[in-house]
Amino acid sequence: MSGPVVRGDAAAGAARVRLFLTDVDGVLTDGGIIYDAAGVETKRFDVRDGHGIKMLQRAGVEVGIITGRTSEVVAIRARELGIDIVRQGAHDKVAVWREILDGTGILPAETAYAGDDIVDLPLLRAVGFSAAPSDAEPYVLDAVHFVSSRPGGRGAVREIIEFVLRSLGSWDAVTGKYFSGVPIR
pTM (predicted TM-score): 0.94
- Separation between Cα atoms, residue 149 and residue 132, nearest integer Å: 9
- Separation between Cα atoms, residue 67 and residue 22, nearest integer Å: 8
| Per-residue pLDDT tens digits for 33-82 | 999 999 999 999 999 999 999 999 999 999 999 999 999 999 999 999 99
Q: What is the mean pLDDT of residues 131-156?
A: 98
> Which structural domains are found in the chain, ordered by start?
5-174 (3.40.50.1000)
- For residues 128 and 108, is the Cβ–Cβ distance under 8 A? yes
- For residues 23 and 116, is the Cβ–Cβ distance under 8 A? yes
Q: How many CB atoms lie within 10 A of CB 2?
A: 6
